[in-house]
Structure 1
Amino acid sequence: MACRECGLDPMCQVLEYAEPGSGVPSGILLRRQSVKKGEMLFGVGQLFKSVYAVKSGSFKAMVPDLNRQERVVGFYLPGDLIGIEGMANQHYSYSVRALEAGSVCVLDIGRLTESGRSTEALQRALIDMLGREVALYHSQTASLIRQNADQRLAAFILALALRTSLRGLGGDRLYLGMSRSDMASYLGLARETVSRVLTRFQKEGLIQLRNQTLTLLSWDGLQQVAASR
């Protein structure tokens, strides 16, 4: 993920990427920190401290349901920001776990005033960051307002494709780090339903699946499914 395509870049530009000579104290911006598969970035209810930007790999957000089972409420791909909602109430409202080995940049929000940058510059960067994420959030949640399984899954695939395209990664080929069970939890479907619909989409020539790589063969076809079935 190139820095210019990352959701954190407006702030990183102000901080000059914490490069030597920038004058930014150590620890305010930690770049490309390694994360192991299954590692937690933070837990639900934990005190808010930092915003994370995905540089490589993928992550899932979870909350406990009424049965104290983990329910998936979101996925994060390269370029996405994680935890930014915690700025509102100073606590994280969900837990985040790595779906695979990857890396993140970590911005310590509480220490921004130590950066030596003007309050105005920091505020402009924060507003820019938040504005971009709101637009991406709407595309991500579009799949949840569809009525049937075909619509939800088609909209979900299109939303992922749009996000990766906006990040400059191209939207025709997606790496699905999440399991079928994670997708089902997020979409409110049964795992078997997700597998069955994906198989049918492939037979209809809408997508091609090879292991965890999904190639979009027909954007128009998926859009028709999302809108009409």
Structure 2
Amino acid sequence: MVAKALVENVRPDVFVIACNTASTLALAEVRAVLDIPVVGTVPAIKPAARLTETGTIGLLATPGTIRRAYTARLIEEFAGDKRVILHGSLELVKLAEAHARGEDVPPEAFAAAQAPLFEAPGGDEIDTVVLACTHFPLVRGQLIATAPRAVSYIDSGAAIARQTIRVLPARNESGGQGGTACLTSPPEREEATVRVLRRYGFPEVQFVAIEPIEMTSAPSAEP
């Protein structure tokens, strides 16, 4: 498994799956093969259910996260008495990545990417939107500015950070500022990714070679 090989090479104290889709697919499996704490990322449906006043929640995610049974179970468990309107957008992922690279993205592009959420039946009642992709909080300001009306946008980032701090060994004295990013492909092939990492506080980028792993079956790689 890639996660196990990465941990053996890098020796982290905590393994964070910083992706909703990957967490809904493989969180249990990763925890089963690693002997360090594993923190997953799942849509902030529970806090959204507490926050909504209209009882209608919007969920912005990738198409893959929208389709996962894990997401459906979260909704059933924590928002079973609410109306949850889902919209999967690969276009918003692309816009967030462009923004992260420092490119100028016109506001109307963000408006168009999130419009289907509010145009869906019942969308006019949405007062809380869950950003269920770790790309999307990067463009929270753009989404707020281009929403058809005032709504609350929430994500699980702060909760993930708190949980990561809780499970870190006491000896860890990192100030949480910057660090080294490890890529499983050579940095020269990932110039855009390296540029984003450096913009967000990771000046050092290293290549970690991981041997290919043969699998008899594998989950869909579609986001």
Q: TM-score range by the shorter chain?
A: under 0.3
What is the TM-score normalised by the length of structure 1?
Answer: 0.26
More helix as a share of residues = 2
